[in-house]
Amino acid sequence: MKSAITLCQVTEAAVGPFVFHDPLPEAFAKAAALGYDAVELFLPGPHAVSIDEIKSLQAEHNLAIAAVGTGAGMVKHGLSLTDPDPSKREEAIEFITKMIDFGGQLDAPAILGSMQGKWGGDVSKDQALAWLAESLTIAGARAGRHQVPFIYEPLNRYETNLINHLAEGARYLEAHHLENIVLLADLFHMNIEESNVAQAILDAGKHIGHVHYADSNRWAMGSGHTDPAPIIAALKQVGYTGYLSAEVFPLPDPHQCAAQEIKAIKQALS
């Protein structure tokens, strides 16, 4: 397993669970100085930063791109894949497709989190899950062009009412024959929803393709009441070799948070 840290350039997400909000040259330098293997990018959209600029920062700092988030589609543009308005759903899938192509040029998968939306009002749960499956079919195929998967993230009940558990996510991928889609195990969401986080990881097994490595309070690991040992053991047991990515609040300050998280990741993997 490898370490990653979130870099956010989305002003609307300034209070979100992202560690460094500095301009990218400074943020890449800070991640590299602390010894991270990669950065996870949360950008305003597919044209916010040029691929050349990111590649040159990667080369300068020897950092991989672990993943790119798509949440700006929701927080900036109010787009979701389960919007009752077909033109909004169309715009949402276009935004995601462009983010997949952006990430793909950096060998990085894109993540679907908040843009999955919710069911309710005029939209039934079955209808929303059917629209989501259609979009995931498109996203999985598009990501495949870049030889990367597309990452689907079950969220806690306060953020979506679609899929809140890894097991539901795994069953959904299988039932809809969704190919090239992996699940994101965000330990913060899992701490709220799963009865046993390590067991949920064992059960989801090969479907897990990315991990947001947060403690129970969504601070750096070691700040809350999560015991990382059985979680790491479960990830090893299922053969997970991807990133433990610091999608956590930058508290008590970004540097202390980032330093504690890399220490916790290194300890867990030693």
What is the contact surface with ligand LER in residues (CB under 6 A)? 71, 113-114, 153, 155, 159, 186, 212, 247
Q: Which of residues 229-248 bind Mn ion (CB under 5 A)?
A: 247
How far apart CA 240 and CA 203 sit, in angstroms, is: 13
Minimum CB distance to ligand LER, residue 246 (Å) = 12
* Distance separating alpha carbons of residues 115 and 259, to the nearest angstrom: 30
Q: Which residue carries 């809350």 as its tokens? A: 224
Instruction: Give the H/E segment covering residue 152.
Output: strand 150-152
Angle at 92 between CA 169 and CA 204, to 5 degrees: 10
Quick check: 194 binds Mn ion (CB under 5 A)? no
**Among ligand LER, Mn ion, none, what does residue 218 contact (CB within 5–8 Å per kind)?**
none
Give the burial class of 78: count Cβ atoms within 10 A of its Cβ; 0-12 exposed, 13-18 middle, 19 or more buried: exposed
Q: Compute CA distances 191 → 164, 215, 219, 230, whole Å.
A: 11, 8, 13, 13
- Nearest distance, CB of residue 59 and ligand LER, angstroms: 27
Annotation says 134 is catalytic: no
Q: Tell me the closest approach of the beta carbon of residue 247 to Mn ion, in angstroms.
A: 5
Q: Is 218 in the site for Mn ion (CB under 5 A)?
A: no
> Which residue's CB is nearer to ligand LER, number 115 or number 232?
115
- Tell me the CA distances in angstroms from 222 to 219, 260, 263, one per residue in order: 8, 8, 9
Cβ closer to ligand LER: 29 or 45?
45
State the catalytic residue, choosing from 153, 193, 194, 261: 153
Identify residues 161-190 at the interface with Mn ion (CB under 5 A).
186
**How far apart, in whole angstroms, are the C-alpha atoms of residue 43 and residue 103?**
11
Q: Does 212 bind Mn ion (CB under 5 A)?
A: yes
Compute φ and ψ for 121, nearest 5 degrees.
60, -125
Q: Which of 40, 193, 194, 247 is catalytic?
A: 247
Catalytic (active site) residue 94: no
**Cβ distance to ligand LER smaller for residue 29 or 159:** 159
**Rounded least distance, CB 32 to ligand LER, Å:** 23
Number of residues that bind Mn ion (CB under 5 A): 3
- Give CA angle at 116 (114, 117), nearest 5°: 80
Q: Residue with the closest Cβ to ligand LER?
A: 113
Active site residues: 153, 247
Binding site for Mn ion (CB under 5 A): 186, 212, 247
